[in-house]
Structure formats: C-alpha cells, structure tokens
A and B are shown apart, each in its own frame.
Chain A
Amino acid sequence: MKIDMSYGSGGKQTGDLINQVFLKHFNNKTLNRLEDAAVLSVEGKIAYTTDSFVVTPLFFRGGNIGKLAVCGTVNDLSMMGAVPKYLTAGFIIEEGTELETIEEIALTMALTAKEAGVRIVAGDTKVVDGNGGVFINTSGIGEVKKGGISISHCKPGDAIILSGNLGEHHAAILSHRMGIENQIASDCAPLNSIVQNLLDSQIRVHCMRDVTRGGLATVLNEAAEQSSCSVEIWEAALPVSPQVKGFCGILGLDPLYMANEGKMIAVVPGNQAERALKAVQNSKYGTNARIIGTILEGNGVRMKTRLNGLRTIDLLYGEGLPRIC
C-alpha cells in the first residue's frame, strides 16, 4: 500500500500510520500516551542535539536511513560523554512511498534504539509531494556522565585512537548508487558502548568525535584548529579493509576523506593510550581499533606516509567525487 497525502492530513489515515507503525514498533509508555509533548525525568546536566537524514538509497548493505537516524543522534550525544536516554523522530514522507518501507525503517529504528538503550518518546509525520522519498530528523537527550570532553581539549602528548576501519559507509553507499557489486557494508552503528567502556575504565578522555561526513581528515583538522595544536597520524596505522582500499583505488577516492557512520576518535593522555585502546577494542564496534597518531605542539594535520614521507592533510573542499582518469 502506498502512502498518499491523506496520511498527512491529521485524520484517520494519520492515526492509522501512527498506531499501526510507529506505536507498534517504538512502543513505550511515554510515547503511547500521545500527548503533545513527552514529559521526562533526567539526572544532572543534559546533552541535547539534533540531526537530519536524507540519504539515498534508503536501504543499503549494512543498514537503512532509520538505523542512521538513530545512530547519528546517539553517537553525537555519546561523544559529549553523555549516556543517550531519549530520542524524538520526525518523518517527512513523500507520497508514493510504500507503507511497508516505512514499517521496515521504523522496525530498524526500534531495534537500534533498543540496542543503544534509548527510547523514542515523541514523533511527527508529514506527507509531501514527491516520489517515494523519506527524510528523517531525530533529536536526542543524554545525561552527561563525564564533563569536560571537548574538541578543544586535545593536548600535546595525547594519543589518538580510531575505533576501526575507514570509509565503509561511503563506499557502501557509492557502490549502491553506481551499481557496483561488492560485499562492502556500511559501518553504521551506535557507539555508546565504546564510550561507556572508556569511561568505565577511568580513562581521562580529552576529546571524542564521531568520524562522519568529511572523514577523518576533517575531524582531525577541527581538533587541531580548536585545540590550537598539531596532529600527526601514521599512514601505516590506519585501518582500511582491502575491499575499501581496492574500491578507492579504482575510483580515485581517499579513505581519509570518506564518510563513516560507526567510527569515532578518542584523544587520551599518552600514558593511558594502551589501556584506552584495550577498552575500545573490548567493545562490540571497536574490535579493530588502532592508535593512529599523536597530538603535538604547533598547528595543522600531517601524516607520516608508509614510506616515511610527510603529507599535509587539509580539509575536504567540495565533494569527494570520483575522478575522470
């Protein structure tokens, strides 16, 4: 059955959509009350964020837009040392979308939220003209368990830990769009368990960032800029799967600039690096974590190449598009 404009009218069909899809899957006391707003209890300081998701295709190897929408907000909250508690979800659905599509997305969101330990406590649905597209906005609240974690708190001597392989989400999406058959799956995942492990291990984490659009290069440049320091990474230490490496080689892409949806960096004091690495590696989504570099005095981001050359790593300018030759 296809969604038409009547599903956004606020009448019977809207009610059906809410009851039969969203309440069924997101099912929790706060949401089920269907009040105008969720009334929530929280402890201490909160972290609060929002993100919108417009990916095409809606479904890809390793996930779908719903999984992204939950993970994206959960990860942003986690990076501030917060435990994600509550999410809201706003859906903008183009007419012509199959009801089954929305149901599958909602189911994935529910499963991902469960895994991450968050509840979806409020929502909204709009139907607009179009041709089967779906856009999702999520916002989230988390309870801050460890304050003082900031992109501006990197210090010379700190170690940089990357939680796993680079470029997988970007390569999976691009493969899908280009009709290339391969086994590369998006890395889309909630990272709060990694953060929990780090904090449980009493690591004095200075900075955490999820490595999303713009890739590792962009995150490291932000860290260097905001913390007024220099970043050095080591090419030989960067984890990239052979499949993604091959994919990048053919298309002239650079894993340093490719988007991820389930990777983060943690910047920790040098003398706690090994312990922090273990904590990350002991997490479900951090098994392939590596210490990839260090913070130095100075400015900018440089990479020691495999051959011991020095390469400057700048921000991404424009889109990372495949080259002509």
Chain B
Amino acid sequence: MKIQEVIDELKSYDGKPVKIMEVCGTHTSSIFKNGIRSMISPKIKLISGPGCPVCVTSAAYIDRLTEFSLKEDHCVLTFGDMMKVKGSSMSLTEAKAAGGNVKILYSPLMALREAREHKNIQYLFAAVGFETTAPIYALMMEEMQQKNINNLKLLTSVKTMVPALSYICEREKNIDAFLSPGHVSVITGADSYLELAEKYQKPFVIAGFEGEHILAAVYEIMSQLKAGRYEVKNMYATAVKEKGNEKARALLSEYFEQGDDFWRGIGIIENSALRLKKKYEMFDGGSRIEGVNEEMPNGCKCTDVILGRKNPAECPLFKTACTPLHAIGPCMVSSEGACGIWYQNS
C-alpha cells in the first residue's frame, strides 16, 4: 500500500472518535515535525503520554542535585534537559547562577572522562531515563569498576514504561489504543506489551520515528479497531525484536532491581523503578528518596496531560502563564515534554 493511500484513508475517516496515546516524546516530536495531525481526520486524536523522563522526575530528586552542586569541590553532571526543572526551591540553572557547580553532558560516558581528569572533585551524575538509557548507566558502572573511579556516583531516577502503561490502562478507559515507544521497545521487546493488550483489549503498535512509520502505525491501529482486534504489532522490526535486546536486559538485571517509584504528576506507580542493587551501592549517590508525595502547582494540568485526559492546549495556563521561558508545570520544561513540544509547534 502506498503512503498516499494510507494518508487518504486516514484523512477520510468519519467513524466514531478515536483516541490514540503515544508514550514516547520522540514520537510526539515527530508527529509535529511531520505535520501528522494535518494529514489525518480530526476524529483521530493523538494524545501524548508520560514519555518524557525529565517531566516525571520528582522535585525532591532535583533538590538532591541542587544541594550537591552548591557544596565546595562538588559537581553535578547532567543532561541539558534537566537544567530548567524546578526542585522545591530552585532549578539546576538557578543553582549554577548561585555558584553551584553544574556541567551539561552530551553522553553519560563523558562523565567518566570528567571524573578521571579532576580527581579532587566529587561528581554526582543525574542518571535519569527509561529502559533505553539505563543500560548505558550499567556500562558506566562497569567501567567505573574497571578503572577504579571513586569520585563519581549516580543519582538514579530510572523508570520503566510497561508498569506506567498498565497504570494508565487501569484508570483511563477512554484511550482506544497505544502507539508503543520505539526506543524503549528496542530494549524491552515487542512481547512486553502482550499481557497489556490481552488484559485491556487494546491495540499496541510499535512504530519507528519517520513520518511514514507513524502514519503506517496509526493505519494499523485503525484497522485493528475497525475489525475489533487488539494485537501487539511490531512495525519497527528493523530495530525491535520480540524479546528485545537480551544483552541490554541482562545488564539491567545485573545492576538494577524493581521498586515502586514516584512519577511527578501521577503519583506512586508500583514496580516502575529500576533501582541500583545493594551490591552496587558504592555507585549510589543517595538515590532512594522515601515518602515523596508532591502536589502539582496551582492550575497546572500536567497530570491530565501525562495521563492523556487533556492535550496541552486545553490547560488554562498553556501559552499564558506557562511558557518554555517561564515553565510552571514540568511538561513545559523539557523539549521532550508534551507541553514544550506543543508550544514549539502549534
């Protein structure tokens, strides 16, 4: 089938309204970059899920980082996206302006170089992410052992997607189908959605990131819905295998174990954290933060956005009080966050 036929078919859809959630920030971004919404019927609603690791990281976690950065001879290493997220009192950008030592990295492995070159400084690496990033953290720790690097620790906030999807399926009954994340599925494998598809009777379609991939996946979802099917379909087979990347998963289970975790804007989701195992606690910079229960700022609808109940434009603060330069909710802060992407592109 030609892509134009797929577009024509999706454009002319006039059945009952359908809600499809994409749970990966890169999908959200690609949907905008390719103008996908302008190519499909307004009756097919694409909504964004909790696919931005920065947006769901707790304020208490940011507080740990900012406090650390302000100590003498201490330095926080982080990805750029984390810089603007507010903790309970300040963001890393503000901590830096107040004299804190914060460095932006482009790759986790750069942290090792930094630590080796400046042995007199204690480093804390903000190890945030999903299953995709976590294997690299495991590799980092392997190398830290081999090279005997003692002045670098990880503050982990690693979350897993399937428990979050399960949480959403359980509570948000009006989502008809899921565009499963591409990168996460590379690690977890297509089979990781089988149970969810069966239990909640929803299609889970894994897509790549080009416009054509997304359109084809939406078409597949619409076909399944029309036929009353609810299957896991892997349409990103060049990168995603049924069982995922077994080597990466072995690394994850060597270094991490499951635990409950707090998701900013959502609350506690059972078994959704990858925490460092006790035997690797020498790499842990105090990641366990107990009793977190944070309220969202007044008027902020990030919770509804992350859970797919509202799109960002439906939040009263969107583009008025809340903008990328003055973000109120966490989804506006990151370029991967649904509100940030909507702001930039709509």
B37, B80, B212 pick with most chain A CB within 10 angstroms: B80
Q: Mark B16-56, 1 if CB is under 8 A from A, else 0.
A: 00000000011001001111111100000000000001100
Residues of A within 8 A of B110 (CB): 178-179
Cα separation A304 to B33 with both chains bound (whole Å): 10
Q: Mark A288-325, 1 if CB is under 8 A from B, else 0.
A: 00000000000000011111111110100111111111
**Which residue from B3, B26, B35, B212 sits with its C-beta under 8 Å from A325?**
B26
How many A residues have CB within 8 A of the partner chain? 27
Which secondary structure characterizes the binding site on chain A?
Answer: loop
| Min CB–CB distance A237 → chain B (angstroms) | 15
**Are B325 and A325 within 8 A (Cβ)?**
no
How many B residues have CB within 8 A of the partner chain? 42
Q: Mark A101-135, 1 if CB is under 8 A from B, else 0.
A: 00000000000000000000000000000000000
Cα separation A233 to B252 with both chains bound (whole Å): 45
Determine if B132 is an interface residue (Cβ-Cβ < 8 Å).
yes
**Which residue from B33, B129, B132, B343 sits with its C-beta under 8 Å from A317?**
B343
**Which residue from A174, A251, A254, A321 sits with its C-beta under 8 Å from B33?**
A254
| Min CB–CB distance B345 → chain A (angstroms) | 5
Residues of B within 8 A of A254 (CB): 33
Pairs A-B, 7 closest by C-beta atoms: A309-B35, A321-B80, A317-B324, A311-B35, A310-B38, A178-B106, A305-B35
**Are A307 and B215 within 8 A (Cβ)?**
yes
Residues of B within 8 A of A314 (CB): 343-345
**Are B106 and A307 within 8 A (Cβ)?**
no
Residues of B within 8 A of A29 (CB): none
**Are B38 and A309 within 8 A (Cβ)?**
yes
Known A-B contacts A254-B33, A323-B81; the reply to A307 vs B211 at CB < 8 A is yes
Residues of B within 8 A of A321 (CB): 79-81, 104, 335
**Which residue from B3, B26, B84, B104 sits with its C-beta under 8 Å from A252?**
B26
Known A-B contacts A308-B39, A309-B38, A317-B324; the reply to A322 vs B345 at CB < 8 A is no
Determine if B176 is an interface residue (Cβ-Cβ < 8 Å).
no
A-B residue pair count with CB separations less than 8 angstroms? 94
**Which residue from A309, A312, A322, A324 sits with its C-beta under 8 Å from B39?**
A309
Residues of A within 8 A of B345 (CB): 311-312, 314
Q: Mark A224-256, 1 if CB is under 8 A from B, else 0.
A: 000000000000000000000000000110100
Residues of A within 8 A of B128 (CB): 324
Residues of B within 8 A of A324 (CB): 53-54, 79, 81, 128-129, 133, 336
Residues of B within 8 A of A309 (CB): 34-39, 211
Residues of A within 8 A of B26 (CB): 252, 323, 325
Cα separation A311 to B341 with both chains bound (whole Å): 12
Determine if B7 is an interface residue (Cβ-Cβ < 8 Å).
yes
| Min CB–CB distance B134 → chain A (angstroms) | 10
For B211, the closest partner residue in chain A by CB is A307
**Are B35 and A307 within 8 A (Cβ)?**
yes
Determine if A12 is an interface residue (Cβ-Cβ < 8 Å).
no
Residues of A within 8 A of B34 (CB): 305-307, 309, 311
Could you jot down 7 A-B contacts, CB within 8 Å? A305-B211, A307-B7, A307-B39, A309-B35, A318-B324, A323-B335, A324-B128
